[in-house]
Structure 1
Amino acid sequence: MPTVSQLLLYPIKSCAGISVDAAVLHESGLAAQGVHDREWMVVTETGQFLTQREHPRMALIRPRPDGDTLRVSAPGMDDLVLPLAWRDDAPSSRVRVWDDEVEAADCGAAAGAWFTRALGLEGITPCRLARFRRDVVRPTSVKWTNGVPSQTRFADGYPLLLIGQPSLDDVNLRMRAAGRAALPMDRFRPNIVIDGLEAFEEDYVGALRTIAPAGEVVEFKPVKPCARCPIPSIDQATGIPGPDPLVIMQSFRANARLEGAVCMGMNCIVTEGAGGELRVGQALDGEIAF
């Protein structure tokens, strides 16, 4: 029987994640300790989002909830402290995530200057920090959901990314056989890690469900394979890119449904019980859908 082995949130898109023992499963993704997954995003002054693809040092920016604030640290920098309380009068800005443009809250000049310095972009690309607005809905594509609507915040495309621990174990067997070092799970930046399946069996799961502590049924459904970008080549502890694991994974994880893209993990949507809680160690019921 599959069980939840890790729950992870990334409060600031493309920055370091936080591991939690329990999280609330919202339609737009996980939330815990007063923060939502991908609730904040670093952007240029024109609103274009920034990621580790171009700025691997983002891996070294570490947000952590601290009471009623989000404390953000980076090497050689004083911490940036962001209030968690929502400001209805926060100035708005238009920001872009891939093909989507949404209204966001701008976190101010001081926060923007902090991220500009942390990324070494002074005199190159001034940054701003955007926060997802509570009154905004960013719908996901229904192309892969059989028409079922969903929503997300600043994630690339869907509210959840699911990976099975046996899948990473299989990848690492092949990495070692090729003379390469094993990869930690954080290279693939999942939200939910599960154990108890065969390697890559999450690719074929129709839905996963459980009973939340309050007694309600909670269900999430894998809908689209996750095509991987170069981020798995970046050491999340150092921010330094290394050999690209996708070169090796190409031989066994290329997906014809996504034009040969190397895939690892499944994007998911919440189909029942939004607002229910998931916990590490929780058992899940699953069904295989071929």
Structure 2
Amino acid sequence: MPTESVVTPGVILGTLVLGTIIKFIVTSILSRRRNGFHLVGTVTRLSVFPIKSCAGFAVDNGVCTEIGLLVHGITDRHWVVTDAKFNVLSQQQAPKLAIVKVECQGYELVINATGMPTLKLPTDCPVDQSKIVICNTGKNTLEGLDCGDEAGAWFSAYLHREGLRVLHSAPGLRKKRHIHRTPDAAFSDFCAYHVLPESSFARLDERLDEPTTIECFRPTITDEWSEIRFGETTKLRCLYPTPRCTKVTVDQVTGVKNQSGEPLTTLRSFRCFPPYGQSPLLGVSAAIHTPGRINVGDPVYVKRK
């Protein structure tokens, strides 16, 4: 006579619990690998640098636009300091730019440096065609709106160099078109976005005798990725790893180059790859894929190549 199977309440409960665990695991895997994206962490820091090579400031949120991170009505790296011939200056030629403090108050950039009076620049000046000049970034020739004699004199006095000017990449002026057919950018070295994983920075920092700061690398958003998604909608397209030069040797507190060549020397010891020669790689240069908001704390998903 066949034996009847008896399903006890304990078996039923155990089956339900096991089913719940399996469902949780499957749901967790699916949430981490949605549409080919893998969850890798969260946004820990957002920074905007209004004036190229000057100090930036951290923000809690912003909007990823085609031409850069938009915060309080200003877009990242849309102002620049030039010499009298409109050649763009960076921390390579003028390391003291690193300690020029820039804030946004209302519709003005508020600029301060030790021993200097406060300089204020309007962020919404109308475009006067007579004030548009062509500047040379070393890689491109771009249009810029001259911000006037007061701004130029301020930076001339601060850097002890005659004839300096401040330019703004105002709306409608010619931007930089990248060779990878990305959306335009203004005065950034490579693309509109620079993403630096903290883990990559940590691997460098642990090798240094004297710790450095992540600000030396001036990331917008704090390695073989093809796309990055923040939250559910905002996406960046990764173009290439970011090569590094002597600008990272400038101390962002003192505005003085490190004579030992650090952290560049150490970075070269383990982050040099063909075809970049002696330019070590750290971080990712990226362009917009899907515009949208971004917040500190947003989950970060990546799609690997």
CA distance 1:231–1:99, change in 2 (3 Å)? closer
- Corresponding position: 1:60 with 2:93: no
User: Which consecutive residues of structure 1, in runs of 5 or more, have no partner in the other structure?
Assistant: 194-202
Residue correspondence of structure 1 range 23-34 to structure 2 within 5 A: 23-34=62-73
Matched residue, 1:227: 243
- Corresponding position: 1:165 with 2:198: yes
Q: What secondary structure is seen at the aligned counterpart in 1 of 2:153?
A: helix
- Corresponding position: 1:102 with 2:122: no
1: CA distance, partners of 2:278 / 2:60: 36
1: CA distance, partners of 2:171 / 2:112: 25
Residues 84 and 165 in structure 2, CA contact (< 8 A), matched pair in contact too:
yes
The offset of 1:246, in angstroms, is 1.5
> 1:38-93 CA deviation, whole Å, 9 max, x = no partner?
11000012110001111111011111001221100011011001112221226111
Residue-pair matches, total: 263
Residue correspondence of structure 1 range 166-181 to structure 2 within 5 A: 166-175=199-208, 180-181=209-210
Residues 140 and 157 in structure 1, CA contact (< 8 A), matched pair in contact too:
no
User: Which consecutive residues of structure 2, in runs of 5 or more, have no partner in the other structure?
Assistant: 1-39
Matched residue, 2:46: 7
Q: What secondary structure is seen at the aligned counterpart in 1 of 2:128?
A: coil
**TM-score after normalising by structure 2:** 0.83
Which of 217, 231, 234 is residue 188 of structure 1 equivalent to?
Answer: 217
> 1:98-146 CA deviation, whole Å, 9 max, x = no partner?
221122100011110001011122xxx420000002102424323xx4x
Instruction: Name the % identity.
Output: 27
- Corresponding position: 1:247 with 2:280: no
> 1:242-265 CA deviation, whole Å, 9 max, x = no partner?
132211221210121223421111
2: CA distance, partners of 1:42 / 1:250: 29
Q: What secondary structure is seen at the aligned counterpart in 2 of 1:208?
A: strand
- Corresponding position: 1:39 with 2:78: yes
Going by fraction, where is helix more abundant, 1 or 2?
Answer: 2
Going by fraction, where is strand more abundant, 1 or 2?
Answer: 1
> 1:179-209 CA deviation, whole Å, 9 max, x = no partner?
x21111001111001xxxxxxxxx2111111
Residues 16 and 61 in structure 1, CA contact (< 8 A), matched pair in contact too:
yes
Bigger Rg over Cα: 2
- Corresponding position: 1:258 with 2:276: yes
Which of 277, 282, 285 is residue 298 of structure 2 equivalent to?
Answer: 282
**TM-score after normalising by structure 1:** 0.87
Q: What secondary structure is seen at the aligned counterpart in 1 of 2:156?
A: helix
